[in-house]
């Protein structure tokens, strides 16, 4: 799972409601396209928080309370995923360390997942393999960030999508549409999107959702950056912001600064470049358009690439003058030669992950509208905001 620290930030979290076991028990879990492993906290997890500052319920999975639960042995074909190990009792265990230093370990379980279908053609429940976490460390143990688990929608064989599609319970394609306005949520759908204006770029690699980026344009002008700088771009719903190598980020900020009108002033706050925008200027007139350019002449116009600092950094920056709003570019410097597109890039458009055809698609559209899909289920999702500042940038979705 890819999760990047934003030391002075607040995280906007999206969660999915999952029902596991027989009888079904409900869990609020973090949705992540950057992870294959799904896990929920075990009932006897000593380090797991019992309450959450995210204002979501914390529930625990009890294998003894489910009539359909089974332990996964070391000989099971799923006992070869991320961090899998074998115990002396032939029990398949796991230990995973995430990018921000958090760690979880536990054992694999096979049990029923329940979901609502729009058609009776397909089963409304299936067995999946997931983790029962009995130990965790890092920020996961703090109450202000607590949640009941993670549901992995990555491309690997252990992800929920791959397990369900292998049994023809769902297609190997899903999409999400996140609304850009804070707290508004969005939609997650399983199935192929029926959208005539959707355009695609190839997915490359098999471990993550990677795409090839040729260039970035600011105000219609391509940045003078070698395309090799971007390498394979990671598309990750588990990251809120976007991350560019330093040379690309410097060129991007320079191009924005050249294009902004004189009435927009720049400054430094909390070590970051800040833009002060007077109320008589609209955001469309204050900042230049930005597009991401992919092979084949395909481009993605960014609807939002700025953060309102009154929300993200209000405890660290001076209060702006009356009639002035302060903004920061949502692109951050990556750690090393890696480019990551998080939710700030993915908002206000359908993002379709088509593993069957190995492609990523999008049109720009209103996420309050119904997403038409060829078959299978659609779920509404809501957002949950942390009530305190936490040094982690991540996001998720909510099945209903």
- Residue given tokens 């391509």 in the structure block: 222
What distances in angstroms separate CA 136 from CA 33, 95, 121, 139, one per listed residue?
21, 10, 40, 9
Catalytic residue among 36, 102, 236, 354: 236
Return the SS3 of 391: coil
What distances in angstroms separate CA 171 from CA 18, 164, 307, 354, 374, one per listed residue?
19, 8, 36, 9, 10
47 catalytic residue (yes or no): no
What distances in angstroms separate CA 30 from CA 58, 64, 357, one per listed residue?
12, 24, 26
Residues 338, 210 contacting (CB under 8 angstroms)? no
Q: For residue 149, list its beta bridge partners.
A: 40
Closest CA to 351 of 82, 97, 205, 153: 153
Closest CA to 185 of 174, 193, 173, 177: 177
105 catalytic residue (yes or no): no
Return the SS3 of 247: helix
The CB density around residue 42, as the number of other CB atoms within 10 Å, is 21
- Residue given tokens 């609020």 in the structure block: 28
The CB density around residue 382, as the number of other CB atoms within 10 Å, is 15
Residues 347, 303 contacting (CB under 8 angstroms)? yes
- The helix (H) or strand (E) run that includes residue 161 is helix 160-166
What distances in angstroms separate CA 262 from CA 189, 266, 281, one per listed residue?
44, 10, 11
**71 backbone φψ class: left, alpha, beta (φ>0; ψ -120 to 50):** beta
The two tokens of residue 134 are 């009995």
Catalytic residue among 32, 102, 105, 343: 32
Q: What's the CA gap between 393 and 11, in Å, rounded?
A: 5
| Positions marked catalytic | 32, 236
């Amino acid at each position: 799972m890819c999760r990047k620290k934003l030391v002075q930030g607040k995280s906007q979290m999206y969660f999915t409601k999952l029902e596991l076991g027989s009888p079904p028990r409900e869990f609020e879990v973090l949705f992540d396209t950057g992870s294959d492993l799904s896990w929920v906290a075990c009932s006897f997890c000593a380090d797991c928080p019992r309450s959450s500052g995210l204002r979501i319920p914390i529930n625990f999975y009890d294998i003894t309370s489910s009539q359909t639960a089974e332990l996964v042995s070391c000989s099971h074909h799923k006992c070869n995923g991320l961090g899998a190990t074998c115990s002396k009792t032939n029990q398949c265990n796991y230990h995973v360390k995430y990018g921000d230093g958090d760690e979880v370990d536990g054992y694999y379980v096979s049990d029923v997942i329940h979901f609502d279908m729009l058609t009776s053609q397909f089963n409304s429940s299936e067995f999946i393999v997931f983790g029962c976490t009995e130990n965790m460390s890092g920020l996961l143990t703090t109450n202000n960030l607590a949640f009941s688990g993670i549901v992995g929608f990555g491309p690997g064989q252990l992800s929920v999508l791959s397990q369900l599609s292998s049994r023809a319970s769902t297609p190997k394609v899903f999409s999400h549409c996140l609304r850009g306005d804070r707290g508004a949520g969005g939609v997650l759908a399983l199935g192929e999107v029926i959208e005539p204006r959707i355009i695609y770029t190839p997915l490359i690699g098999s471990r993550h959702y990677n795409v090839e980026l040729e260039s970035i344009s600011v105000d219609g002008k391509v940045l003078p950056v070698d395309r090799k700088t971007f390498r394979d771009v990671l598309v990750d719903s588990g990251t809120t912001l976007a991350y560019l190598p330093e040379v690309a980020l410097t060129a991007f900020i320079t191009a924005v600064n050249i294009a902004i009108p004189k009435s927009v002033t720049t400054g430094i706050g909390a070590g970051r470049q800040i833009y002060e925008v007077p109320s008589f200027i609209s955001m469309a007139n204050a900042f230049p358009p930005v597009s991401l350019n992919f092979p084949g002449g395909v481009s993605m116009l960014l609807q939002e690439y700025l953060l309102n600092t009154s929300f993200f950094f209000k405890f660290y920056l001076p209060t702006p003058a009356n009639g002035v709003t302060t903004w920061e570019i949502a692109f951050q410097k990556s750690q090393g030669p890696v480019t990551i597109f998080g939710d700030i890039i993915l908002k206000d458009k359908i993002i379709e992950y088509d593993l069957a055809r190995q492609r990523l698609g999008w049109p720009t559209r209103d996420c309050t509208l119904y997403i038409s899909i060829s078959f299978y289920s659609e779920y509404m999702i809501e957002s949950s905001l942390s009530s305190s500042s936490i040094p982690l940038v991540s996001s998720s979705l909510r099945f209903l």
